């Protein structure tokens, strides 16, 4: 999939790259503001002042340093990351567009280091697009997730029970939409006609943050203890957007998980 295309998530959601600034190289440049050296290059490279013996097309051509190499600026990048010198990572950032259920956004917006602009139902009617969890999702064993799990003393959910819940949810969504459209038709202000709509309805937003804060977001939301739905967005953000844009920083982040 090409960078910038909408990447489908859940049943009707997506995440999409909009734009970015900075790069792995710009992070290095920011870190060297005190020395003025800037970005010197990725390694490994031959030792300084290393010369060669033989013509360029000679298969026996060799270097005078005996093949010794020195690391490039990846060494500094790793040092910055592992020693939590985090401010250079603020010199890069990404803007994305996200369509997700409202309950996912309520979790997402807890990350106050990001900037958001969400579609507002005060000004435009919300599309009739709603999240229905799959059977497999409903049957996920969440007993190891102390923030979620089933109600103590509840029955064990079966496939039949999950399917019945799906149908119940669809009926509730349909009923809510009928009420919403009726309220709009009789002149209820858009900002009030929405009051009964469920948190499973999809909304849409743009989100912007620097790379340091995107990594903080993914540290929490890609973790196994995170709610499954937002985890899908976080994992996709990392693998499909951050990885191709900042490959060396992404490799360090992956190694720290």
Residues 6 and 14 sit within 8 Å (Cβ to Cβ): yes
Q: Is the pLDDT of residue 101 over 90?
A: yes
- Token digits of residue 231: 């985890």
Residue range 189-214, pLDDT digits in tens? 999 999 999 999 999 999 999 999 99
**CA 88 – CA 81 distance, rounded (Å):** 9
Sign of CA dihedral 171, 176, 181, 183: positive
Q: Which of 52, 216, 229 is nearest to 134 (CA)?
A: 229
Q: Which long-range contacts (CB under 8 A, 24 or more apart) does 78-82 make?
A: 78/252, 80/27, 80/31, 81/249, 81/252, 81/253, 81/256, 82/252, 82/256
Domains in the chain: boundaries: 7-22+92-256
**Helix (H), strand (E) counts: the chain:** 10, 9
pTM, entire model? 0.87
Give the DSSP H/E element, type plus range, for residue 226. Answer: none
Residue 137 pLDDT > 60: yes
CATH of range 7-22+92-256; options 3.30.1360.170, 3.40.640.10, 3.20.20.10, 3.40.1180.10: 3.30.1360.170
Structure confidence at residue 59 as a pLDDT band (50, 70, 90): low
User: What's the mean pLDDT when you consider all of the chain?
Assistant: 90
DSSP lists the bridge partners of residue 8 as 14
In the structure encoding, which two tokens stand for residue 43, read together? 């390694």
């Amino acid at each position: 999939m090409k960078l910038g295309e909408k990447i489908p998530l859940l049943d009707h959601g997506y995440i999409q790259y909009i734009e970015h600034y900075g790069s792995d190289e710009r992070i290095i440049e920011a870190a060297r503001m005190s020395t003025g050296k800037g970005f010197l290059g990725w390694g490994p490279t031959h030792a300084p002042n290393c010369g060669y013996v033989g013509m360029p097309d000679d298969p026996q051509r060799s270097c005078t340093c005996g093949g010794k190499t020195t690391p490039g600026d990846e060494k500094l990048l790793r040092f910055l990351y592992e020693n939590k010198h985090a401010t250079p990572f603020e010199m890069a950032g990404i803007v994305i567009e996200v369509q997700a259920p409202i309950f996912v956004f309520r979790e997402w917006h807890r990350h106050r280091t990001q900037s958001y602009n969400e579609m507002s139902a005060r000004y435009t009617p919300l599309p009739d697009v709603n999240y229905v969890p799959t059977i497999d999702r409903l049957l996920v064993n969440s007993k190891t997730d102390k923030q979620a799990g089933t109600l103590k003393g509840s029955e064990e959910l079966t496939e039949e029970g999950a399917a019945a819940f799906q149908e119940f949810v669809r009926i509730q969504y349909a009923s809510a939409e009928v009420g919403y459209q009726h309220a709009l038709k009789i002149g209820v202000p858009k900002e009030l006609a929405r009051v009964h709509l469920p948190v499973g309805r999809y909304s849409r937003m743009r989100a912007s943050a620097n790379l340091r804060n995107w990594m903080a977001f993914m540290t929490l939301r890609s973790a196994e203890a995170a709610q499954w739905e937002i985890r899908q967005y976080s994992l996709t953000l990392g693998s499909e957007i951050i990885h191709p844009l900042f490959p060396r920083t992404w490799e360090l982040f992956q190694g720290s998980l």
